[in-house]
Structure 1
């Protein structure tokens, strides 16, 4: 009888655990560390680093992203992830800021695309309402909210805690409270869930956490306290993950990201004045580690250009939403998690303006342009000078570098004033991905203004399967192919050769448009599949 009872209890428990998530829909855990740049994150820089076994384990089984930009302060980054729009588009360009309800949140978009299948919560720092509004998280679609509404707490042991619209004084340690609430909320869910878990740490005031939460010795100065606070996040993440049943954790996509660069007084490696609140890499380059459900690349690194806005579209893709490349300024990169072909940013862009300081930045794979608020510029070669010690404008640009600077300047203006035709997203009033509407080339093949003189030869054309693109010794950078509806059906970056052989056997019969991109120009060529 005892063995039968044990078996029944086991079956009941397994039933409860399995009911906590729909196996066809992953849970989403988004962890945001406050004021954490790559220079103090293990796996990026060396030097004085915290000990983070939990993050290390996620990196070992997941994907580490090398080139991720956030805004240089927290509010515009959070508003960007929430809305999928650059700061200049969502109106939150600095701190403080308010994300107006006219901007559709990630929570509302998940609700719409999954017919309210998901339950969601924000646990932690909000800081995208001004003035602070206890109901703002709910107005943006969060089913449950607990945390701090403002930028930071004055004391990690005495802070204003807001929970479901009511604010009271809390004398318990912030990081512990936010972890306890995250654990309790998750345990109560019996349907797919999305948890936005935004820590107050390691934001100042720098202090020594409870002794069980860190291992670093000698926390007598600001840097050592800061490192101990990062370790407290790692400790808390371990607590949360250990509370999740294995079956549920296996079906959970885990995203860890910093919201801006490391504060100036605790940075390392970067030049003085290149930390948080600046448009230099020390202010905008942040860690991003993704593991769990839907991630097949284990222990790998990815150097694609990623914007924090892209998390919006990627989360939507993870829950099954079909997007035309992305949404707003957010380019989905879920395919990268699985090592599949798909669009990657040609340009990355961030803008920031707070109390008369800031500007905007734009980069391609190698070069970065900074346009300060007074319209002065700086130009850096990130492949050879990743810490930005040498402004190339001070010594003069080569002809090729000047062409790239002008191209970056033009693209940034387009992004700020309208919608890019080079972002692989159907946005603005485009009729297809980067085609149609007021600014982009027409999606209808018959309307393309194709130059009479071609640099590339495509043969055979028409073709049944194999086709060769030969550019007469001009280096081809990339190829993109669109169908008659303007949908991108093929793309390859970094061809880096004057010719390329392509098999289009899987294409449907019909007319396609191929865009061949060279170093400084591109051309459209019609392609016929028989």
Structure 2
């Protein structure tokens, strides 16, 4: 497969603008929209790799964010979740979404590397196992990162994925020339991953004759930071220079996000109007923004790899038939995507860690009382990684780092967790909040 360099920039950007128009038109109110909402929906889950809350213009918490007009239109037309959480790194978040279970149950608690980390057991009941007998076509395109060193290239198939294509490990050395896997066979690809995955998604969607679920896991904007093809972004003055990228990676990270947004627009624009109108789009970041590009925004608490807000608070937008437009402060964990997707297809599995978001998508308040995140491994933490667990309710968050005193934060007053309420003179209200969250943790871990 070769990368196309000939298509003009204008064609790519027009595809993205066309998708914005299609999103706006496809979900206008009226009888046609109501009729569409009554059908079994198609479901498109888009995962951005290493994109925290601070990287999205849909959230007013960042300092220098990429233009992403297609995703921003999804935010205007759909439901934006202000309190969505994932694991601090790639593998455990993907494991929670595909099983609906926390990492302490599956054993996947940190990013799987060649040096260690537990792969997701094929004995787990996956989302694809659940959907397999329900008349839905399904596929995974893009980053997998759930297989350990001892797992074979057929690992997706053993978890119920009948059609897999993409980058198998945690990262690629080169976005333009990469090793991957296609349905159990090793492949070598010459093609920009973001474009290649989109091409594959367009062709797969066009071939479907029944309701479908597509897990589209871009490896963007994960490192290595680089300059994407010029037709995919508007940062035309950036130098394609390795030293400059190392010195100032943020503009390149943002260009990678804009390139992904352009290709998401091309995918949405490729769908016939009736297909697009009957497709629920879920967009989520799998963990926080890397520290090299998050800068000092989160201070000493860190970003990707940390159990603090910078590592676990992620963007989540859901848009589609029957979904109310607006913002929700409902607590959401990445496990909840399992229950929500299954329920949208008509299946309601019993999962202790996952909550169906259907009421919230209709405009109702959330039902979660707490969100739990964790980070653990037999391999010692490196660099910015912070191991431990954290649990929050609608106001307070208790953080328990390995071999460290617990910390408590009032997220209403202190969203960046700068003031530990358990240090110095501790109020009775803080003691009570910490005790309640500790009790919730102990009940959960039983």
TM-score if structure 2 supplies the norm length? 0.84
Listed as ranges, the gaps of 5+ residues in structure 1 are: 1-20, 419-530
Superposition deviation, residue 396 in structure 1 = 2.9
Q: 2:203 aligned with 1:158, yes or no? A: no
Superposition deviation, residue 216 in structure 1 = 2.8
Q: Where do 1:20-419 residues align within 5 Å?
A: 24-44=39-59, 45-96=61-112, 97-112=118-133, 114=134, 117-131=135-149, 132-219=151-238, 220=244, 221-268=248-295, 269-295=297-323, 297-298=324-325, 300-322=326-348, 327-340=351-364, 344-354=367-377, 355-357=379-381, 358-416=387-445, 418=446
**Which protein has the bigger helix share?**
2
Q: Is the 8 A contact 1:294 1:338 kept in 2?
A: yes
The CA RMSD measured in Å over matched residues stands at 1.6
Change (3 A) 1:111 1:328: farther
Q: Is the 8 A contact 2:42 2:279 kept in 1?
A: yes
Question: Structure 1 stretch 98-107 or stretch 254-263: which is displaced more?
Answer: 98-107
Runs of 4+ in 1 over 2 A off after TM superposition: 21-24, 216-221, 354-357
Q: Is the 8 A contact 2:421 2:430 kept in 1?
A: no
Superposition deviation, residue 213 in structure 1 = 0.8
Superposition deviation, residue 400 in structure 1 = 1.7
Q: Is the 8 A contact 2:301 2:417 kept in 1?
A: no
CA distance in 1, matches of 2:404, 2:123: 30
Question: Structure 1 stretch 371-380 or stretch 175-184: which is displaced more?
Answer: 371-380
Task: Name the SS of the counterpart of 1:321 in structure 2.
Answer: coil
Q: Is the 8 A contact 1:34 1:199 kept in 2?
A: yes
Superposition deviation, residue 204 in structure 1 = 0.1
- Paired residue total: 389
Task: Name the SS of the counterpart of 1:159 in structure 2.
Answer: strand
Superposition deviation, residue 413 in structure 1 = 1.8
Task: Name the SS of the counterpart of 2:432 in structure 1.
Answer: helix
Q: Is the 8 A contact 2:70 2:265 kept in 1?
A: yes
Task: Name the SS of the counterpart of 1:392 in structure 2.
Answer: coil
Query: Which fold has the larger relative contact order, with Cα–Cα distance below 8 Å and residues 6 or more apart in sequence?
Result: 2
CA distance in 2, matches of 1:166, 1:120: 19
In structure 1, the partner of 2:384 is none
Question: Structure 1 stretch 155-164 or stretch 305-314: which is displaced more?
Answer: 155-164
Task: Name the SS of the counterpart of 2:376 in structure 1.
Answer: strand
Which structure is larger by alpha-carbon Rg, 1 or 2?
1
Superposition deviation, residue 414 in structure 1 = 1.9
Superposition deviation, residue 397 in structure 1 = 2.1
Superposition deviation, residue 67 in structure 1 = 0.5
TM-score if structure 1 supplies the norm length? 0.71
**Which protein has the bigger strand share?**
1
Superposition deviation, residue 217 in structure 1 = 4.9
Q: Is the 8 A contact 1:264 1:273 kept in 2?
A: no
CA distance in 1, matches of 2:388, 2:95: 17
CA distance in 2, matches of 1:22, 1:304: 23
Q: Is the 8 A contact 1:64 1:289 kept in 2?
A: yes
Deviations 1:375-410, CA, capped at 9 Å, x for gaps = 521111111010111112223321121011011112
